[in-house]
Homo-oligomer: A and B are copies of this chain.
């Protein structure tokens, strides 16, 4: 209900998937009339689509805690409860990110060994990743947990690694810890301690510390950082393409051949922007709970919603929760002192 484009892209994406995903049932939670109206306008497999009516919903501008307190039957809470009670297997939302995280944390339990949830994001990289040569890496946290302990960073590494393996089909995703230098002793106290623990465990393929320049380069498959740094980095990446174009224009506006070059490149740059746009990719996970949550971008179009639903299906079929739990167990074992 709360996505920027309203119910239409959500319903269209779900309707489209219902036509070919024969093993998938879709539960659409929100204002029943709006949803049915949108459904009537697109072809879908009616037997695989169910509507659950919600009387209220959180908007993008609502304050999450206030909104969830005021609307105990908001669509995001009903959807989360449906996942909690087993009526559904995975929660997908393109609404208010804070409200999705809060609804999950109020409705689901955290996995053993996870103290804080992480919101992941897909970031564009120069180097390709995995068997499909995706020009993306996964970064977490990007805003759910601003200040983190070493243990939390380690759990982010495990969760990101499991997600990357299951969704991007990367057998042993390389995990990098974002710091101010590659040496193990570089970083905040939490980062230095997390490095020590990650270097000792076999639960993830730890590539050591990475630096800021490794982020756009894409030296690793999974970038681990606290939510404050992750949020700054993610928003910088959003802004930097525009800025680079603008700097070039400012500096060489007077020179015809650069102008010509820019003109020729502009369509290419537009396509590059699309390439790195969440709208096309579909979504990113909120990790740490005993239930699965995929957050699609608020500006998702029908194709992005369809992609988010497909990603969500994959996380269920390949049991992401079990993979994360196994990884967390493995780090706990390696953290325990070894008898001589």
Contact = CB atoms under 8 A, between A and B. Distances in A.
A86 B172 CA distance: 59
Nearest to A269: B248
A238 interface: yes
B212 A233 contact: yes
Contacts of A264: 257-258, 260-261, 264
A24 interface: no
A265 to B, nearest CB: 4
A209 B180 CA distance: 23
A203 interface: no
Interface string A248-287: 1011100101101111110111011001100000000000
Nearest to A236: B212
A164 B171 CA distance: 50
A215 B236 CA distance: 7
Given A125-B243, A244-B240, A212 B187 contact: no
Nearest to A232: B212
Interface SS of chain A: helix
Contact of A271 (B212, B225, B237, B251): B251
A296 to B, nearest CB: 20
What 9 pairs across the A-B complex have the smallest Cβ distances? Answer: A213-B239, A212-B235, A261-B264, A216-B243, A212-B236, A180-B231, A261-B265, A126-B246, A126-B243
A272 B260 contact: no
Contacts of A243: 125-126, 216-218
A206 to B, nearest CB: 19
Interface in A99-147: 124-126, 128, 135, 143, 146-147
Contacts of A181: 231
Nearest to A189: B147
B268 A248 contact: yes
Contacts of A276: 247
A304 to B, nearest CB: 19
Interface string A202-214: 0000000001111
A227 interface: yes
Contacts of A231: 180-181, 211-212
Given A180-B231, A217-B243, 16 more contacts: A125-B243, A135-B247, A143-B180, A179-B228, A211-B232, A215-B232, A216-B239, A216-B243, A228-B229, A247-B272, A251-B268, A251-B272, A251-B275, A255-B268, A258-B268, A260-B261
